[in-house]
Amino acid sequence: CTEINAERIGCFWPNPQVERFIIRVHRHFFSNCTLERLVFADPPDASLILLILIPVFLTLAMVALVVWCSKRSDILA
What pLDDT does 7 receive? 76
Q: In whole angstroms, what is the distance from residue 10 CA to residue 4 CA?
A: 10
What pLDDT does 71 receive? 81
What pLDDT does 76 receive? 58
pTM (two decimals): 0.44
Burial class (CB in 10 A: 0-12, 13-18, 19+), 37: exposed
Does the pLDDT of residue 70 top 80, yes or no? Answer: yes
Q: In whole angstroms, what is the distance from residue 27 CA to residue 52 CA?
A: 41
The mean pLDDT of the chain is 81
Q: Are 44 and 52 in contact (CB under 8 A)?
A: no
What pLDDT does 4 receive? 76
What pLDDT does 75 receive? 63
Backbone angles phi, psi at 10, to 5 degrees: 90, 20
Q: Are 50 and 44 in contact (CB under 8 A)?
A: no
